[in-house]
Amino acid sequence: MKILLIGANGTIGSAIDNELSPRHEIVRIGRHSGELQVDISDSASIRALFEKTGRFDALVCAAGNVTFAPLADMTADSFALGLKDKLMGQVNLLLIGREYANDGASFTLTTGVLSHDPIKNGASAALVNGALDSFVRAAAIELPRGMRVNSVSPNVLLEAMDKYAPYFRGYKPVPAADVALAYAKSVEGLQTGQTFHVG
């Protein structure tokens, strides 16, 4: 398969690349790195990316930004980053990407544990992750031409605990390589409308 991997240079993206590249052609895409670049918060940038990649069999997005801050300090503008980037960025990858996707192509989006197990300062991430998981369930029943869509919802990464441990006390971190298996399940399997929880 020809797989577009957005966020290929990140911790999860690199693990997905390691898992899938022995079996498939991976097009590595990042905001500033990779073979091609895209700003997922910009629909024009997304369309320009697909004009360069041409037809594809699977798209995996392991990218997206949100604001982490105390709710007392959050404003509408604070939420705008996550809504425009991680939420609508991934939604637009599907909406625009379906025009370039081959019959039977899959889309795999990234959410996270905070949608159902929130932490302090994580309201924006919880909002965005929950919205994406709901979008996946709804979009799956309407996608044409045998296309599929799933999301992967990982727990905090083992590799990120140096930075995030104070926020995730009591959570059991998961290795990125284990998270990558859920993306492989989405890409290479048959399920659609699912959220694969890891950890």
Tell me the per-residue pLDDT of 79-137, one tens digit each, with 9 for 90 and over: 999 999 999 999 999 999 999 999 999 999 999 999 999 999 999 999 999 999 999 99
In this predicted structure, what is the pLDDT of residue 80? 98
* Residue 189, pLDDT score: 98
Contact in structure between 121 and 79 (CB atoms under 8 Å): no
What's the pLDDT score for residue 117?
97
Residue 109 near residue 151, CB atoms below 8 Å? yes
Q: Say what the alpha-carbon torsion angle 68, 70, 76, 80 is, to the nearest 10 degrees.
A: 0
Range of the domain at 148: 2-198
pLDDT at 98: 98
pLDDT of 6: 98
Global pTM value: 0.97
Give strand pairing partners of 108. 60, 150
Residue 86 has what pLDDT?
Answer: 98
Extract the tokens encoding 97: 């990407």
Question: The CATH number of the domain where 170 resides is what?
Answer: 3.40.50.720
Q: pLDDT under 70 in the chain at which residues?
A: none
What integer pLDDT is reported at residue 7 of this predicted model?
A: 98
Helix (H) or strand (E) holding 96, with range, is helix 88-97
pLDDT of amino acid 73: 98
How many domains is the chain built from?
A: 1
Cα 154 from Cα 194, distance rounded (Å)? 13
CA 136 to chain centre: 11
pLDDT at 109 (0 to 100): 98
C-alpha distances in Å from residue 152, one per residue of 43, 46, 50: 23, 21, 23
In angstroms, rounded to a whole number, what is the distance separating the alpha carbons of residues 1 and 75? Answer: 43
- Answer whether 49's CB lies under 8 Å from 63's CB: no
